[in-house]
A and B are shown apart, each in its own frame.
Chain A
Amino acid sequence: MEDAHRMSIVLDVRGVHLRRGPRRILNGMTFEVARGAIVALMGPSGSGKTTMLRAIAALERFDEGTIMLEGLESAGGRLQGRDALRQWRSRLGLVFQFHHLFDHLTALDNVTLAPVHVHHVARSAAEARARDLLQSLGVEHRAGALPRELSGGEAQRVAIARALALDPPLLMMDEPTASLDPARRAELGRLLRELAARGHAILVSTHDDAFVGEFATGAIRMSDGMAH
């Protein structure tokens, strides 16, 4: 039983410390996220939620501890091997709070850019997969639109499609409900459930208790850079 649980662990964060000057931002964070789980990182603004996601995404170095992601290990944010960073990032998708879609590309091109140029998937295959993703997220009709022509909800769905284009085992979202009305929040919750059901491990930073209560399978409360 224990072995089966370990096998399903996608993300394992152990004793991660991160300091910026005199400030301790992460102070021994330890938690794990299993396949099919929707885990919420909760806490007030400034508690270190976003920094934790950025450390997992290898956008921030950390000072101590390890992060295991689908068999790869990052110690102090340093990865071993020439191709390690690319391998690491192919195992995760991150949806930023403000989406950060590429402004000069259509929704479809935003989704196909990484498969074509990073993983050398044939353009036709990448487009077919991107259209499937956009369709499953309900925004296929906006495939040719530029980011500035999308609503907030549509842009978030395109950003999710972009993050899922390479089918990463871990999907992370930073404050996904911050700018959504109640109907859109419910839609997002259902979508996360579907993705979890398909086998993705999902880690969401939020301070939306109601959303967590309704849709999350687990919650980690953060304060002063520690999990409680």
Chain B
Amino acid sequence: MRPLILLCFFAATLGAQPRDLRWAADPEGGAPYVEADPADPSKVEGFEVDIAGVVARALGRTPRFTFTSYASIDQSVARGDADLGLNGLEDTPARRAAMAVTVPYYEFREVLSVRNADAARFRTLADIAGRRVGTLGGTMAYEILLGAGPRHRIETVSYDDDVHPYSDLLLGRVDAVLLDNVIAERRVRQLSGVAVQPQTVAVGHYVGVLAPGNRTLRDEVSRALLAAMRDGSLERILRKWHVWNDDQPALYARLLRGEVAAPSASITESAADGGAVHGAAWQATRRYLPTLIRAAGVTLVLSCLSMAVAVALGMLIASGRVYGDAPLRLVLTGYVELMRGTPILLQLFVIYYGMAAAIRLPAFVAALAGLALNYAAYESEIYRGALEAVPIGQLEAARTLGFTERQILSLVRGPQAFRLALPPMTNDFVALLKDSSLVSVLTVVELTKQTQIFAANIGSWVIPGSLCAALYLAMSLPLAATARRLERRWKTPTA
């Protein structure tokens, strides 16, 4: 009996405590939204941090920040990791269909940023026909560019963060960036040489997102936001972070009159006409399937080319380590250890962004080089092991028959080593197929990245994830089967 009483006591105590309001955001997005406090990086600050504080207070709760990557906020909130997502999340039909969204708390404009020298000629999407335009993947701006692409022949370059589109704009890798005015104005303050065009490409709203079944809390948060609009606390926060402008009073007035804000896609003609999202998942699937297949093609071509280069380089490195003199062996061992001992992501960043001042590699070439250089280190170890596994007696037998060392390598040692190396090589190729998803950090849109964009667009991973898995399997299973066939053939008696 006593344990039951204790349990009831603890339950009552817990119930009496003020509950947390767990809210999710990605501080990588930076100020003025949410960023790590420079004075104390364990804390976050930004206008959304302050808004979360106001909402939590109104609900009688304690705000508790939950770190979540920007692309996964909806999914994270839907599965219950946080109560509320608050991170410049756009009000789109897909988001409304998949999640419970609050009333908007901010009206933003999609604007074009260009290099100063191009400010007079690149004013609208039509002006940048045939050019490369950068943006954040899975956002309204991305959808607009995707839709405008066929008409204006715009090549959309998708980024994972909102810093590199602007640095690449200055480097000439893209000719314009389409993003929210809040982001654009912040970058223009930080970078010289970038101009924000005054024309508005589209208008949208930031909303809070909650799990689809959490409509009661959604309504409470909405009421708290409306109260903050009414009493001016929202205005004070936005002014403090220098993001208050004339668009906000108009929005607040409409909302306080009881008007319901329409989702972004139907607000402006350019967004709607620019291929904005439509509710039904199957429609989105139909629209995204060709891009997914194209992205799978990118994955396959990139993986095949990278593997071919990695195999060739790996063989050279392995030969150098087996046959080379001491200094060469030392250099090659250093290379292998450097490539194996540092993350491939870091290597990709160094090749694409770090070396940009010296050599401006196109994204695909940088991705190919990064994957090939990294995998060459691993392949070389496989080949070195395989070369050393060929019995020395066979090498001596070949020497007594008069073969040169080069002939022994190409006719006796190499072919046998290749047979030994085939299973681990196949394994590596399948791993490379999947590791190629890392190159999305260099703006190469391959299968995983395209899937992520698709999932962010429809607010669910079920269909995009299944299609993505099917495409990866369609690429890797035949490869594994071919390798197994080759292994069998080389093991089978020939007479």
Judge whether B388 is part of the interface by a CB distance below 8 angstroms. Answer: no
B→A interface (CB under 8 Å): 391, 393-394, 396-404, 407, 411-412, 415-416, 419, 490, 493-495
List A53-106 residues whose CB lies under 8 Å from chain B.
57-59, 85-86, 89-90, 92-94, 96, 98, 100-104, 106
Judge whether A222 is part of the interface by a CB distance below 8 angstroms. Answer: no
Q: Kindly state the separation between the CA atoms of A162 and B400 in the bound complex, as whole angstroms.
A: 11
Q: Kindly state the separation between the CA atoms of A50 and B403 in the bound complex, as whole angstroms.
A: 21
Additional 19 contacts, C-beta under 8 A, given A96-B393, A98-B393, A101-B394: A59-B399, A85-B402, A89-B399, A89-B400, A89-B401, A90-B402, A96-B396, A96-B397, A103-B394, A103-B416, A104-B416, A113-B401, A114-B401, A114-B402, A143-B495, A145-B493, A145-B494, A146-B493, A149-B493
Q: Kindly state the separation between the CA atoms of A165 and B109 in the bound complex, as whole angstroms.
A: 83
Kindly name the residue among B399, B401, B411, B490 whose own CB sees the greatest number of chain A CB atoms within 10 A.
Answer: B401
Q: Across the interface, do B400 and A117 meet the contact criterion of CB distance under 8 Å?
A: no
In the complex, residue of chain B having the shortest beta-carbon distance to the beta carbon of A98:
B393
Contact with B along A124-158 (1 / 0, CB 8 A): 00000000000000000011111001000000000
Query: Would you call the interface of chain B mostly helix, strand, loop, or mixed?
Result: helix
Contacts known (A113-B411, A144-B494, A144-B495); A100 close to B391, Cβ less than 8 A: yes
Q: Across the interface, do B494 and A118 meet the contact criterion of CB distance under 8 Å?
A: no
Contacts known (A90-B402, A100-B396, A106-B494); A117 close to B407, Cβ less than 8 A: yes
Among A92, A101, A103, A145, which residue has its beta carbon within 8 angstroms of that of B400? A92
Judge whether A184 is part of the interface by a CB distance below 8 angstroms. Answer: no
A205, chain B: closest CB distance, angstroms: 15
Chain B residue numbers with a CB within 8 Å of A162 are 397, 401
Judge whether A6 is part of the interface by a CB distance below 8 angstroms. Answer: no
Q: Kindly state the separation between the CA atoms of A191 and B368 in the bound complex, as whole angstroms.
A: 60
Q: Kindly state the separation between the CA atoms of A58 and B402 in the bound complex, as whole angstroms.
A: 10
Kindly name the residue among A102, A114, A145, A163 whose own CB sees the greatest number of chain B CB atoms within 10 A.
Answer: A102
Chain A residue numbers with a CB within 8 Å of B404 are 86
Q: Across the interface, do A118 and B400 meet the contact criterion of CB distance under 8 Å?
A: no
Chain B residue numbers with a CB within 8 Å of A113 are 401, 411-412
The 29 listed contacts between A and B (C-beta, < 8 Å) are A57-B400, A59-B396, A59-B399, A59-B400, A89-B399, A89-B401, A89-B402, A90-B402, A94-B400, A96-B393, A96-B396, A101-B397, A103-B394, A103-B416, A104-B415, A104-B416, A104-B419, A114-B401, A117-B407, A117-B411, A118-B407, A119-B402, A144-B495, A145-B493, A145-B494, A146-B493, A162-B401, A163-B400, A166-B401
Q: Kindly state the separation between the CA atoms of A202 and B412 in the bound complex, as whole angstroms.
A: 27
Chain A residue numbers with a CB within 8 Å of B399 are 58-59, 89
Kindly name the residue among A57, A100, A142, A144 whose own CB sees the greatest number of chain B CB atoms within 10 A.
Answer: A100
Q: Kindly state the separation between the CA atoms of A103 and B389 in the bound complex, as whole angstroms.
A: 12
Chain A residue numbers with a CB within 8 Å of B396 are 59, 96, 100
Q: Kindly state the separation between the CA atoms of A12 and B394 in the bound complex, as whole angstroms.
A: 27
Q: Kindly state the separation between the CA atoms of A149 and B391 in the bound complex, as whole angstroms.
A: 18
In the A-B complex, the 4 residue pairs with the smallest Cβ-Cβ separation, listed nearest first, are A144-B495, A100-B393, A114-B401, A100-B397
A159, chain B: closest CB distance, angstroms: 8
